[in-house]
Chains A and B, each alone.
Chain A
Amino acid sequence: MQDTNTVQRIAIDPITRIEGHLRIEAQIQNGKVRDAWSAGMMFRGLELIMAGRDPRDAWVFTQRICGV
């Protein structure tokens, strides 16, 4: 058993059973989460892709942000 006072850092990636590429990192001390960080690990740049296009097409593009 490790000294529980030691700050441990764990990363869970991928977080499953959700849509998207989620990563959670957590700092654990005395068996409790002391701090945590979440991050989306995927980027497409849809805002950049939509710039300058026919506004009537916007719904087709934004629909593809998430298909769930």
Chain B
Amino acid sequence: MTEETRPSTIEERLEQRGITRREFLKFAAFMTATLALPSTFTEQVAHALATAVRPRVVWLEFQDCTADSESFLRASNPNVASLLLETLSLDYHETLMVPAGAMADKSLMDTVNGYPGQYIAIVEGAIPTANGGIHCTINGQTALSRADLVCRNALATIAVGNCAWDGGIAAAAPNPTAAKGVKDAVPGLGTLINMPGCPHNVVNLAALITHYLTFQQWPERDGQGRPVFAYHETVHEECPRKDHFEEGRFVLAWGDAGHRQGWCLCKMGCKGPDTRHNCSTVKWNDGTCWPVQAGHGCVGCAQGNFWDQATPFYVSTNCHDD
């Protein structure tokens, strides 16, 4: 279907895909709650989603493992997946797009040159800076040069996952390729929103974009460019096992009586007290579960430099009960 014959509003397109008005409103309520807005905003969010003109998005992959794309695509809740794909005009995404080689590049440059300052750049993966940036190239261009061109011309840049935030695993010691996140590789961007996590959670990305479509501005961010709605509380503060922590009930060995009863995992190396993210409320797999619920400690994947700061993962460094 060409751009001209596509139904123009998201609501119409969702109808074509069999998503009912009721499901649509449920999604709007879910986004409103994720953004920590009063439920009275649901109607405004729904109206914005229903009438918004699709923002153009280019998705750049650099030193990545594609898990942030997987998180984006594996939103098993059909509302989240459909709404994201219907809400955005995804003009460039190497893992998803049909054109390859020079034709892929044309898709990217058509958006960058044709819609300067109007498209959203989403970056996944770190940017290597050693040896002139040769450790990641696309069509003969370094990740560094592509990021610089695409992000500097964008309306906003969203760095999804830890690698795009601070270099992530590629930047872990000894950082063989001098990998950096967007904030350090392309400094001085007007609007850079960091969505750390390994990978980032698609519910938060959906909520971020929903906020922009509703209010024509990005949500409040902290000093590190992270949206406050998703990165304010520590994992520990919101942990369903926190009562066990306060009562001094700790798992001391995998499979012990406490582990079987869901006690606090901090003596097993849980990094929840050091990590700010909304995992316990947003969860994974369509909101069914998350690591601590499954019986494993938080590895601290939303904190800065976690591959060096939060390791060894199974050594407790923050369990100050005694």
Contacts and interface: CB of A to CB of B under 8 A. Distances in A.
Given A42-B63, A42-B135, A68-B66, A17 B311 contact: no
B231 to A, nearest CB: 21
Given A44-B179, A67-B67, A14 B313 contact: no
A12 interface: yes
Nearest to B99: A16
Contacts of B307: 49, 61
* Consensus secondary structure, chain A interface: loop
A18 B177 CA distance: 23
A24 to B, nearest CB: 9
B174 A17 contact: no
Interface string B297-316: 00100000001000111110
Interface stretch (B136-144, B255-263, B272-280): B136-144
A14 B63 contact: no
A55 to B, nearest CB: 9
Interface residues of A, number: 30
A16 B94 contact: yes
B176 interface: yes
Contact of A64 (B98, B99, B169): B169
B177 A57 contact: no
* Consensus secondary structure, chain B interface: loop
B172 A49 contact: yes
Interface in A6-51: 11-21, 41-46, 48-49
Interface string B169-201: 110111111010000000000000000001100
Interface in B70-103: 70, 94-101
Contact of A66 (B65, B126, B136): B65
B155 to A, nearest CB: 24
Nearest to A68: B66
A1 interface: no
B313 A57 contact: yes
Nearest to B126: A44
Contacts of B97: 16-17
Contacts of A49: 169-170, 172-176, 307
A66 B101 CA distance: 22
Contact of A54 (B63, B66, B314): B314
A17 B95 contact: yes
9 cross-chain pairs, A with B, having the tightest CB-CB distances, nearest first: A67-B67, A45-B176, A54-B312, A67-B65, A12-B101, A44-B170, A19-B66, A42-B136, A16-B100
Given A16-B100, A41-B138, 9 more contacts: A14-B100, A20-B66, A41-B136, A42-B135, A42-B136, A43-B176, A45-B170, A67-B70, A68-B67
Interface of B: 61-70, 94-101, 104, 126, 128, 135-140, 169-170, 172-177, 179, 198-199, 299, 307, 311-315
11 contacts: A13-B139, A16-B97, A17-B95, A41-B136, A42-B63, A45-B177, A54-B314, A54-B315, A57-B313, A67-B65, A68-B66
